[in-house]
Structure 1
Amino acid sequence: MDNTFTARASRDEGWWTVTVDEVPGLFTQTRRLDQIPGMVRDALTLFPDITEDAKGAEVTVVPQGPAADAAHEAAELRNLAREAQEQATASMQAAARELSAGGLTFRDIGSLLGVSYQQAQKLAVQ
């Protein structure tokens, strides 16, 4: 018997209302998202035919609605920004190495890349 459950949470009048995909008719509510797994496990104790180990159930919370959509979009943008920063750093390092190998001073490299000469030196040797 699978002991994994998906709790879908929607915001409604100051509460998170929760339904569980695997248990039709199971409904609970709570004030905070972090309370949902515990609330679902407590509710599962009322369904011994569904799970024998309600306290050990794995509960995945899936927020829905405008708040979840905004948070998801923000998280995606944060990830894109992190990836862009990693690409920019790699490009800066490659450029600093190439310029250094071409005989430019770290002061000139720093001026070209818009960083201090100390940072240009770090980039070139990393």
Structure 2
Amino acid sequence: MMITVTVTAERGNGVWVLESENGAVSQVRTLAAVDDEMREAVAYLAGVDEDQVTMELHVVTPASYDQAMREAERFRAEADRANAASAAALRRAAKSLVGAGISYRDAARIMGVSYQRVAQLVQ
């Protein structure tokens, strides 16, 4: 019987304090050691073999980190939208040059890209 247990890690006095939802507790110096440290205790308390335990790690982070990450995600989404808009504008620019009878090579020179890129943009 496989069981999945959430392990919460919170920083305290130079170590990560660990607690599982089934009551296992421990501490580690790095998050890389969580699985090895907690698997045996979780399995013992649950009455199963260690290989039947999977763990989901929940790390308690400072509010300032959470805020900065939300901001970073917002900026990343804005950048994705700006990149898509830029790509669409480049396609329109290439099509307008070629549509005006300008060769791919000349359009490439004007746009500062390769003629192969102009061909990609036009298609």
Q: Which residue of 2 aligns with 1:4?
A: 4
Question: How far is 1:82 from its partner?
Answer: 6.3
Structure 2 segments unaligned to the other structure (5+ residues): none
The aligned length equals 116
CA RMSD of aligned residues (A): 3.2
TM-score under structure 2 normalisation?
0.67
**Residues 1-126 of structure 1: matches in 2 within 5 Å?**
1-21=1-21, 23=22, 25-47=23-45, 50-66=46-62, 69=66, 72-73=69-70, 76=73, 79-80=76-77, 83-84=80-81, 86-88=83-85, 90-103=87-100, 104=102, 105-108=107-110, 110=111, 116-118=112-114, 121=118, 124-125=121-122
Q: Match of 1:37, as an amino acid? A: D
- Aligned residues with identical type, % of pairs: 22
Tell which structure's C-alpha radius of gyration is larger. 2
Structure 1 segments unaligned to the other structure (5+ residues): 111-115
Q: Which runs of 4+ in 1 moved over 3 A?
A: 70-75
Query: In structure 2, what is the Cα distance between the partners aligned to 1:35 and 1:77?
Result: 32
TM-score under structure 1 normalisation?
0.66
